[in-house]
Structure 1
Amino acid sequence: MNVWIRSQKKHWRRGVPCVIEAQSYDSARFTENNLMAMLHSFNVSVGLDLWFPRDDEEDYVVFRYTGGGGGGASPVGRQGGPQILSYDEHCLFHEMGHCLGLGHQHYFARCKLGKYLQGVDHEDWNNHANGARSFFNESDGNYNNASVMCYRLTAFANSPAIQAALQNKTVDIKGDSKPKHQRSSSSGDKAKGKAIKTTMEDVRLIQSMARAKGSDDMTLHASDVRKIQELCAEASPL
């Protein structure tokens, strides 16, 4: 499954002009040459001259290095004007995917399993509550744990459902049957003491999430490549 931003105004159809923020890298860890080599590797993977030095374009990306283990972040899609893509050596391709318009691979899996995973205020709960289904498209319902847009299962809150699924078992969970953002203060909207039973389909999905490469992987899956090529269809071929 690929998840991508709906609005074509946020697609980088002709590729991404970019600059490297001065003094944004630690030469002992990740030099400017390292970054240029990774941008080239990304371009080769998709067969497009996708990331290229900015000339005078109004919309462009500024790469900001956060240091080893500092993590990263990027807006999803083209924002207009300069936009920051922060990264370290462990999450660069993942954040580049976000910049191009890709959402998290686990997004809809997370919403589907939310009542079991007990992750409360994880960002995907908030996105779902704010109507993210109108923000993202999804191509199909299959979770792809090889995508660079995955998180590892350890990124989610632990729960009895996860522990049971990893032992190939279903489990009954008592409590409110609705996700947190759907609950009301009225007692009539609460399913107190109601048991929710996981299914074997849920078990298989959780097990698949447990095998995900994670966002620190620096390879693009074939499905990532195809979607990026579609989103950036007017970029020059290599």
Structure 2
Amino acid sequence: MSYRIQSGDTLSALAKRYGTSVDALQKANPQIKNVDLIYAGDTLKLPGATDGFDSPSGRTGPNLTGGVTGPSGTNSGEGVKGPNGSPFDIARSHLNKNAGSLKLEGSGVGADMEDWVPNNVNCANFVSACLEQAGQITNGQHDNSVMGLQSKLDADPDFKRVSLQDAKPGDVVSMKVGSGQHVVMFAGWQDGKPQFIGSNNVNSDGSQRITISSMNYPIMSVHQYQG
């Protein structure tokens, strides 16, 4: 995944946001000679683990739990569970797995993910599978495109659109990313910033891994399960 540097960005802040390190960013971008000097408008390659068949060991995301206070005293709560559990808890159980590895698992989320989807565009495939495992959508509602999943949730009376301030862990968040879209799930608040969990392009080869991070992309919709 590539990122266009914005005014005010620093390598240390970007490393934290995308679950990597300053050293890894510099190695992936040899044009950077001084880690304290980057330029708005330049393109940055985001590194990460290669898309192999093992989950990176000893790595975790932010310690996010329900009930974390967000902006203006809002409270994220514990999230809305489906008949089979919480999609957020299901997603978190696969944290730091590569999407390509997850799809090879013969049960659970991996079994519900469609194998043919390229490993650099699994965001809707992963979110759909987590919703299926929680019992919030059916297999027929599974969609591998962001706009397709958004449309199906709009048509489902068990879901309603809410504001980000009213989001709960596991809510489906569709974002506008450049000329495309990305979909993740809300993961709570940390230091007043919304956090999201999903299949993200953080690997050096452009493939995706399940990570939790903050994101600054424009939000198109937040869908919350009503049961």
TM-score, length-scaled by structure 2? 0.24
* Greater helix fraction, Structure 1 or Structure 2: 1
| Structure with the largest fraction of strand | 2
TM-score (normalised: structure 1):
0.23
Q: Which has the larger radius of gyration?
A: 1
